[in-house]
Structure 1
Amino acid sequence: MSERKIKKDIGIVGAGPGGLAAGMLLADEGFNVEIFEVKDRVGGRNSWFEEEGYRFDVGPTFFMMPFILREIFEKTGRDLDDYVELERLEPFYQIVYSDEKKLKTYYEPRKFKESIANINEGDVEGYNKFMNRNEKKMKYTLPVLQKPYSNLFDLINFDMLKLLTVLSPQRSLWDDLGLTFSDDRVKVGFTFQSKYLGMSPYNCPSMFSILPFIEYNWGIYHVMGGLNQLSQAMAKVFREEKGTIKLNTEVKEVIIEKGNAKGLKLDNTEIKEYDEVILNSDFAWSMKNLFSNKERRKYTNDKLDDMGYSCSTFMLYLGMDKEYNDLEHNNIFIAEDYQKNFLQIESKNELPKDPSFYVQNASVTDPSLAPEGHSVLYILVPVSNLKGEIDWTKEKEDFKNLVLDKLEQKIGEEEIRDHIVYEKVLTPEDWKDEFNVGYGATFNLAHNLTQMLYFRPHNKFEEFDNIWLVGGGTNPGSGLPTIYESGRITANLIKKKYGLDYTFRHNKEIEKLE
């Protein structure tokens, strides 16, 4: 912990991963930091709930690129492993196709190649080609994603020039994988990760082939007790650094005077004054709810409506009175017409009759999540965000039953409803109303090339002085590792403002890449 006390006050809206990361790093430097969270617990979409002995993560369910959070903990003089227990998954997940064939993905290359051979032996060599191509791309991409982009000139730097040599902006992720693999089923195993960004692989930029590379190069992890333990650990460190978290406290408004944030108005009408304000709440929601439309010059309501957003998700959280040992920890069930499924979500804004969906069966790794002999099943179905016209009050029950029917078919389990002890459903409307997610877009702003880096809302928010952004709606984007990075970037910008040491380069893992 820094021994120097910075006589500056910082208020953070939202105790999600980005706000906690920024709060940890700034409190460690001696800033007086307060975080306000409307819920009764930290984490935001990385939170949890418990009912009848079952514990569920609300949002993300597995952990990638743990070295980023390790570096943040190390900056405060701590070891992440003293706070959480990580279990690397093997296999990461199984992908189940409509023809009932399965691709299991592994950290161990030999096992993964054997699994690819079971689908298409001719694509086995594609694994080596893919890893070699993307190792270089990853080495050039990571430094670019660790920087702020406050003006166009920030795009002109040596790291960006190197990255441009390996990018193919004219190609989609799906087309890019066609250079390496011939079988569409194998390609699915290297492109479905675009759903982490809420995008279709047919529209997602080819640069995001780094997502499967990240998994296969560094592995993916379960956090014992659920991924929510990461946010709880961060909150613990933040409090150890004398930071304050005020739960059950809603921020109603950011008080603006002459282009500066004067402070935050709370739900009890109290106004708290701060030198700097960090927004960790959802970007689109924040613009429309924490500022008047007249105060915003760039991100007006019309502008927000015109921006691109990720898909949403239909969620089923099930507490089951039996174990499902034939299911892997992570399972992805692929629609017969994979491309049509994405078109229905992204373009047609209609509910698919044959959806792709994800099922987490975490109890096979972590029995603490359910009573003995029971299981927790977490089911995620990508659906259109609320810019579409789906009436969820009418469709919710029928779509839930469709998903349960599909689950029964896929896992060969009849009468699955008879084993449900606890059930919770979240629709896009629920994401909007219960979690303040703009447009119900679970993964925030889309990640097309016109909404990345400089063209995404800036970490040093361009609308107002002394307001900063963290989270999926700013640079570098959504997904836990990048959200942690957004917190680190913003903390470094504030440290730079006050003359403290900072760096935007974190090279230990990059140096290991070829």
Structure 2
Amino acid sequence: MTPQQQTPQAQSRSASRSGRSKTAVIIGAGFGGLALGIRLQSLGFDTTIMERRDAPGGRAYQFQADGFTFDMGPTVITVPHFIEELFSLERGKAGLLAPDFPPAVVSAPRVMSGLSGGPATRRYVDIVPILPFYRIYFDDGSFFDYDGDPEGTRAQIRVLAPEDLPGYERFHEDARAIFERGFLELGYTHFGDLGSMLRVVPDLLKLDAVRTLFSFARKYFRNPKMQQVFSFETLLVGGNPLKVPAIYAMIHFVEKTWGVHYVMGGTGALVRAFVRKFEELGGTMRYNAPVARIEVTDARGGMGGLFSRRFARGVTLQCGEHLAADVVVSNGDWANTYLKLIERRHRRVNSDARVKLARQSMSLLVVYFGFRADSLPLDLRHHNIILGPRYEELLTDIFDRKVLAEDFSQYLHLPTLTDPSLAPPGYHAAYTLVPVPHNGSGLDWTEVGPKLTERVLRFLEERGFIPGLRERLVYQHFVTPDYFEQELDSYQGNAFGVEPVLMQSAYFRPHNRSEDIGNLYLVGASAQPGAGTPSVMMSAKMTAREIARDFGVHSSILQSAFPQEDPEVPVRG
């Protein structure tokens, strides 16, 4: 076979053997793009990350104003050994075969004080544990300090809902079983074909992990407060507790096992550290470089060219510049990747109809504000969940009816309780996040946004969470679903990618390897396994493994690790 008759992947392997490094372009410098960039550099690819904005981070973008520093997105850091693994990677040493969950990491007691990061992490950032994980406020003024400690949890249940103590014991054991099977054993599984999904269905049914999470919680808890405590967390990854599968009960044990952490300097400090690591490994960052389209070509196969395959060959920027690449990866929104960057004629599986019919996650109103401390104590914690008077009905308003209700719930983040460096001396920096419908609602956020922002700040003051807030307020800024749609290029202004309902999970979630186009891959919140910082870092490792298989990277080692597939043969999903 001549070089012209080879598939692009085979040509790339031949070029590698002749000394030319394989090249990769990643679209988007969010957590997924940066984590994958680090991994591809360690695999020996020459990787360029194209970022449409002026700085890295994506949803984890950080900005400064009037002396305050604000993380715009993720603030909850879990599973610190995922971060340690990334910072430990070296050029030419892929790290793909290291145990995903080393026994010492799984069995080690949760770090309750001091630094949370390992030795490699400490060269780049300082990570500290946060306790409690969250303070959850109910509408009647009572609260629950959620920290994953069974004894502390039992003590609080005795006060708030003593009738649910036996139910908690059963929930604890059943959630542990889901965590062990669904996270430790299946967490890194790329469900690229229906068979891979069908093989695990019996186990999921046995664990009762396919019913909805809220229904699962109601099996064990009769008190509405406990039902909310043990189901709210999926809202932090864009999931409706009334609709996501109960496999998400694993989040309870993910946090219980490894804790909840904070990066000193904010999540933006972790983003910058990932950029530093990526560049140390030889990667290239490009900012203010929006991609206009992914270039796709046909490669003729056997039987006189009867069969043809489509392959990604690079990207063209909005400025007209073209970058050729052996691998193209999108860390952008799944829907807009296919709708905006790839011509319709190249998309059979990810057609316009399929993309537009998919359910998108809810969106957010996020209010960033700075205020004077005035030496007044705050009865708040680093992470605060403030629940409104309704739970099920409010969730239905947001996700299904797509209407803006009179009441709301919110997540109030007050990092200056841990890290005063984010604000001038004598001030606090905070943000409060309110789940709202995405832009499929038709709401006019230029009108609704300012009014809702005022209602939220007034609520925090009048309910006593931050007394005298509006008088002490010195800075405020807010974003709405329009920010997610226009600035972050998320379809319908979704904040977390595809909604993680059962029929959009595992095999039914967008695949990390494109079904339509060879050499094209996805990574991040829209891809498998889903949204949230640990899942996005897992997504990067899963995608790196698919690329390594397809391009025969370290083929003899990969063959022993993945004996069911020949890494020298391109595997298509």
Specify the TM-score bucket, using the shorter chain as the normaliser: over 0.9
Q: Which digits, 9 at most, give the CA deviation of each residue in 1:323-379, with x for residues without a partner?
A: 663211111111111111111101221112110111011100111111111001110
Amino acid in the other structure paired with 2:138: Y
CA contact (8 A) 2:295 2:316 kept: yes
Corresponding residue SS for 1:176: helix
Q: CA deviation at 1:17?
A: 1.0
Distance 2:255 2:352 in 1: 37
Q: State the partner residue of 2:419.
A: 366
CA contact (8 A) 1:65 1:218 kept: yes
Distance 1:412 1:393 in 2: 27
Corresponding residue SS for 2:348: coil
CA contact (8 A) 1:489 1:504 kept: no
Q: How does 1:246-285 map to 2 (within 5 A)?
A: 246-258=286-298, 259-285=310-336
Q: State the partner residue of 2:109.
A: none
Residue number among 11, 35, 38 corresponding to 1:24 in the alignment: 38
Distance 2:469 2:434 in 1: 18
Please tell me whether residue 152 in structure 1 is matched to residue 194 in structure 2: yes
Q: CA deviation at 1:165?
A: 2.6
Amino acid in the other structure paired with 1:72: L
Please tell me whether residue 210 in structure 1 is matched to residue 250 in structure 2: yes
Distance 1:145 1:439 in 2: 28
Corresponding residue SS for 2:487: helix
Q: Which digits, 9 at most, give the CA deviation of each residue in 1:73-106, with x for residues without a partner?
A: 3343882232121111111111111111111112
Corresponding residue SS for 1:387: helix
Q: State the partner residue of 2:359.
A: 308
Distance 1:52 1:125 in 2: 51
**Structure 1 residues 219, 304: closer, same or farther in 2, change over 3 A?**
same
Please tell me whether residue 182 in structure 1 is matched to residue 235 in structure 2: no
Residue number among 423, 448, 455 corresponding to 2:508 in the alignment: 455
Please tell me whether residue 484 in structure 1 is matched to residue 537 in structure 2: yes
Q: Which digits, 9 at most, give the CA deviation of each residue in 1:207-252, with x for residues without a partner?
A: 1111122222321111111122222221111111101111121111
Q: How does 1:288-367 map to 2 (within 5 A)?
A: 288-322=339-373, 325-367=378-420
Distance 2:148 2:508 in 1: 35
Q: CA deviation at 1:154?
A: 2.4
Amino acid in the other structure paired with 2:152: K
Residue number among 126, 151, 162 corresponding to 1:85 in the alignment: 126
Query: TM-score scaled by structure 2?
Result: 0.84
**Structure 1 residues 447, 297: closer, same or farther in 2, change over 3 A?**
same
Q: CA deviation at 1:413?
A: 4.2
Amino acid in the other structure paired with 1:141: G
Distance 2:33 2:265 in 1: 22
Distance 1:166 1:80 in 2: 35
Distance 2:475 2:340 in 1: 34
CA contact (8 A) 1:320 1:375 kept: yes
Amino acid in the other structure paired with 1:431: F
Corresponding residue SS for 1:382: strand
Q: State the partner residue of 2:69.
A: 55
Q: State the partner residue of 1:401.
A: 454
Q: State the partner residue of 2:280.
A: 240
Corresponding residue SS for 2:439: coil
Distance 2:562 2:434 in 1: 36
Corresponding residue SS for 1:398: helix
Q: CA deviation at 1:110?
A: 2.3
Q: CA deviation at 1:296?
A: 2.1
Q: CA deviation at 1:62?
A: 1.2
CA contact (8 A) 2:364 2:481 kept: yes
Task: Provide structure 1 residue ranges, at least 5 long, that are not aligned to the other structure.
Answer: 506-514
Corresponding residue SS for 1:351: coil
CA contact (8 A) 1:309 1:441 kept: yes
Q: CA deviation at 1:63?
A: 0.4
Distance 1:147 1:92 in 2: 28
Q: CA deviation at 1:495?
A: 1.3
Task: Provide structure 2 residue ranges, at least 5 long, that are not aligned to the other structure.
Answer: 1-15, 94-118, 299-309, 564-573
CA contact (8 A) 2:438 2:493 kept: yes
Q: State the partner residue of 1:201.
A: 241
Q: CA deviation at 1:122?
A: 2.6
Q: CA deviation at 1:424?
A: 1.1
Distance 2:262 2:20 in 1: 37
Q: CA deviation at 1:292?
A: 2.7
Q: Which digits, 9 at most, give the CA deviation of each residue in 1:288-316, with x for residues without a partner?
A: 22123333223233322211111101110
Q: CA deviation at 1:13?
A: 0.5
Q: State the partner residue of 1:134.
A: 175
Aligned residues: 501
What is the percentage of aligned positions where both structures have the same residue? 30
CA contact (8 A) 1:176 1:206 kept: yes
CA contact (8 A) 2:458 2:470 kept: no
Q: State the partner residue of 1:511.
A: none
Q: Which digits, 9 at most, give the CA deviation of each residue in 1:110-154, with x for residues without a partner?
A: 223222222112323433332221112111112323022222122
Amino acid in the other structure paired with 2:333: D
CA contact (8 A) 1:325 1:364 kept: no
Q: CA deviation at 1:412?
A: 4.9
The alignment yields a C-alpha RMSD, in angstroms, of 2.1
Amino acid in the other structure paired with 2:232: F
Corresponding residue SS for 1:424: strand
Amino acid in the other structure paired with 1:283: W
**Structure 1 residues 494, 334: closer, same or farther in 2, change over 3 A?**
same
**Structure 1 residues 131, 218: closer, same or farther in 2, change over 3 A?**
farther
Amino acid in the other structure paired with 2:366: M
Structure of larger gyration radius: 2
**Structure 1 residues 125, 368: closer, same or farther in 2, change over 3 A?**
farther
Please tell me whether residue 411 in structure 1 is matched to residue 464 in structure 2: yes
Q: State the partner residue of 1:101.
A: 142
Q: Which digits, 9 at most, give the CA deviation of each residue in 1:481-505, with x for residues without a partner?
A: 1111111111111112232244589
Distance 2:255 2:504 in 1: 24
Distance 2:512 2:390 in 1: 39
CA contact (8 A) 1:146 1:504 kept: no
Q: CA deviation at 1:268?
A: 2.0
